[in-house]
Structure 1
Amino acid sequence: MKEQFTTTVRVKGKGEAKARAFADALNQVQAAVMKASPQILLRIEPQDVEVVHAQETARKEAFLFLFLRRVRRTYSVELDVTVNVTAINLDKVDFVTK
């Protein structure tokens, strides 16, 4: 009834800081695993994280093209996360009809 398996999911994240981009990507792991598996998930444990793509984008801004000049940075990451999943297989559960 209870099964364990290992899978790898690819997630993407964006943010104003490096940590925010990684946090955004890691928050999407659960949804990606749930979409890929029709089973009821009990536990999702990340085992390994591999950075596929990491990018920093810088954009110059100014108020009225002259004042308050600044550089805004945006970070984006793409990760391959290997997770160990514990799930309940509903096909192996015997339901009794009354």
Structure 2
Amino acid sequence: MKEQFTTTVSVSGKGDSKEKAFADALNKVQGSVMKSSPHILLRIEPQDVKVVSAQVTARKEAFLFFFLRRERRTFSVTLDVTVSVTAINLDKVEFATQ
């Protein structure tokens, strides 16, 4: 009934700092595992994280084209996360009829 398996999911995230980009990507791990598994999930434990790509995009902006010039940066990251999943397989649960 209770099964344990390991899977790898690919997630990506964006943010205005490196920390926010990683946090955004790691927050998407649970949803990605839930979509790929038909079982009821009990526990998801990250085992390994690999950075596939990490990019920073900078753009300059100004108020009315001249005033208050600043540079905005956007960080984006793509990760491959290996997770250990503990789940309940509903196919192995026998329901009694009354």
Specify the TM-score bucket, using the shorter chain as the normaliser.
Answer: over 0.9
- Partner deviation per Cα, 1:18-57 (whole Å, 9 max, x = no partner): 0000000000000000000000000000000000010000
- TM-score, length of structure 1 as denominator length: 0.99
TM-score, normalised with respect to structure 2: 0.99
Correspondence list, 1:11-90, <5 A: 11-90=11-90
Identity of aligned residues (%): 78
Q: What amino acid sits opposite 2:75 in the alignment? A: Y
5+ unaligned residues in a row in structure 2: which ranges? none
CA distance in structure 1 between the partners assigned to 2:92 and 2:62 by the alignment: 62
CA RMSD for the aligned pairs?
A: 0.4
Gaps of 5+ in 1: none
Cα deviation for residue 97 of structure 1 reads 0.8
Which amino acid in the other structure matches residue 28 of structure 2? Q
